[in-house]
């Protein structure tokens, strides 16, 4: 938190990469790594979606931290015995300390962990999804979509950066502002960008091009949490998502697309934000609403054309062990 009351995200991540050629010392190998996420976290949700869309479930295992954590780190409190069944650790912090015993930066998800050594390789959330789409190509399912087509990369990067600064991170800038001036500035930027997105998505089915891209993955995870958390908890309350016709229809379109809604657990999302953020919600009371069944209502976005997976195909159902409760 800066002296001006503005929230500034620490983005000093472990930037080593898992690549096809292993140039950072971490080569792509089926079964070697474990992707640790939390269902609650929007940044981790991105990685879960891309792993599903690429069909990497059989080569990259998934560890799921629970929604509640303390100052030390995310924990595996939902697993039997409170330990990740593959890594054998109670706290994600342990994997960071195995990489660097003096590690003093954020313990964040998503994190890719080298199973043989138990060390975190990277927690660079923006790079992880790009690499799952590009570096893991040899192990992707038949029909995996191209989420980052070369001809559209400049536009995808531009849109994704705007969305990150003003929406993905913008809701946090509202929620964690400690002065009225900082909050007002973040609130204004958030709603100017959401109005821009509302206009853009009123004319096209997806953010860039006529298929789902990395830009859509990045926006979706914030929209999925907007009414349940950000509208009230983070004071982003000019309107609800359900009151923005194009964005609400767009979000439902993606939610109903295989690989998106089947990674969303609204109960865990609300448990995390309302219980962990003591300074914002000191009572720890978790709201009962909103009713999530609206996510399954018709959206009509097919009328705008577009092909969700381009020349690819939808992913199959998630493994039984990774299924989340449907909206009810």
pLDDT band (50, 70, 90) for residue 2? low
- Rounded Cα distance between 136 and 181, Å, is 44
d(CA 55, CA 314): 10
Q: Which of 13, 172, 206, 250 is catalytic?
A: 172
The catalytically annotated residue of 13, 41, 174, 187 is: 41
Does the annotation count 172 as an active-site position? yes
Instruction: Please answer whether residues 170 and 197 qualify as being in contact, where contact means their C-beta atoms are separated by less than 8 angstroms.
Output: no
Give the three-class secondary structure for 129. Answer: helix
CB 141 within 8 A of CB 156: no
User: For 68-119, what is each residue's pLDDT tens digit?
Assistant: 999 899 999 999 999 999 999 999 999 999 999 999 999 999 999 999 999 9
Does the annotation count 41 as an active-site position?
yes
Residue 156, classed as helix, strand or coil, is helix
Residue 284, token pair as written in the block: 């720890």
Which token pair is 269? 């999302």
Q: Element (H or E) spanning 54, and its range?
A: helix 42-54
Query: Taking residues 264-285, what's their average pLDDT?
Result: 97
Q: What is the pLDDT of residue 80?
A: 97
Model confidence at 8, pLDDT cuts 50, 70, 90, reads very high
Residue 10: predicted pLDDT = 85
Whether the predicted pLDDT of 237 surpasses 80:
yes
pTM: 0.98
Q: DSSP characters for 92-109?
A: THHHHHHH-TT--S---S
Question: Domains in the chain, please, with CATH?
Answer: 150-257+289-322 (1.20.1050.10)
């Amino acid at each position: 938190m800066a002296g001006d009351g503005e929230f500034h995200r620490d983005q000093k991540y472990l930037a080593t990469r898992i690549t096809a050629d292993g140039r950072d010392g971490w080569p792509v190998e089926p079964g070697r790594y474990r992707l640790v996420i939390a269902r609650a976290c929007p940044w981790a949700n991105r990685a879960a979606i891309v792993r599903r869309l690429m069909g990497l479930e059989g080569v990259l295992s998934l560890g799921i931290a629970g929604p509640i954590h303390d100052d030390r780190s995310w924990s595996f409190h939902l697993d039997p015995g409170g330990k990740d069944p593959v890594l054998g650790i109670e706290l994600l912090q342990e994997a960071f300390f195995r990489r660097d015993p003096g590690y003093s930066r954020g313990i964040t998800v998503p994190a890719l962990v080298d199973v043989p050594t138990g060390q975190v390789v990277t927690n660079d959330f923006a790079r992880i999804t790009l690499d799952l789409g590009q570096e893991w190509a040899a192990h992707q399912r038949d029909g995996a979509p191209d989420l980052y087509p070369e001809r559209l990369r400049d536009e995808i990067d531009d849109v994704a950066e705007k969305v990150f600064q003003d929406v993905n991170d913008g809701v946090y800038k509202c929620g964690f502002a400690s002065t009225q001036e900082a909050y007002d500035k973040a609130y204004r930027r958030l709603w100017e960008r959401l109005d821009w997105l509302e206009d853009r998505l009123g004319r096209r089915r997806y953010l860039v091009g006529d298929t789902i891209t990395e830009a859509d993955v990045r926006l979706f995870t914030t929209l999925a949490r907007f009414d349940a958390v950000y509208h009230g908890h983070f004071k982003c309350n000019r309107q609800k998502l359900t009151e923005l016709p194009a964005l609400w229809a767009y979000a439902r379109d993606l939610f109903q697309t295989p690989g998106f809604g089947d990674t969303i657990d609204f109960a865990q999302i609300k448990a995390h934000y309302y219980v962990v953020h003591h300074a914002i919600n000191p009572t720890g009371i978790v709201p009962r609403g909103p009713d999530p069944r609206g996510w399954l209502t018709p959206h009509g976005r097919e009328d705008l054309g577009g092909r969700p997976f381009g020349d690819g195909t939808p992913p199959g159902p998630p493994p039984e062990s990774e299924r989340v409760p449907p909206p009810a």
